[in-house]
Amino acid sequence: MNIFLWILQILLAAVFGMAGALKTMQPKDKLRAQMPWVDNVNAGTVKFLGASELLAAAGLILPAATGIATVLTPLAASGIAIIMVLAAALHGRRKEPQGVGTAVVLLVLAVVVAAGRF
């Protein structure tokens, strides 16, 4: 079970690390082509989401890998789950079924990690 959780943690950290880096480093106008939902939020919110995703990615790996403050790993996964609930709602309002599906898959993975690590 531990190896399975590590695989999920690494997968989630990679996805959210890349997405967070993209959101924090690119201006909102450049993100619009890949992420049309940015039209529904202001630039500060996009940067905040990106920073939150970067912190969550680090929180999924670093505490568990170092053995320091390991309770942060399931808390990071719980934070990702909250972000994905909100993402699914946003994509649902925008009538983007693929976005909802992606958010739900990531939500389930985050919940499995959170439950497994708590």
Domain boundaries, the chain: 2-117
Between helix 43-66 and helix 2-25 the angle, nearest 10°, is 150
pTM over 0.85, yes/no? yes
Query: Environment class of residue 60 by beta-carbon count within 10 Å: exposed (0-12), middle (13-18) or buried (19+)?
Result: buried
pLDDT tens for the 118 residues of the chain, in order:
899 999 999 999 999 999 999 999 999 989 988 899 988 889 999 999 999 999 999 999 999 899 999 999 999 999 999 999 999 999 999 999 999 999 999 999 999 999 999 9
DSSP conformational letter for 38: G
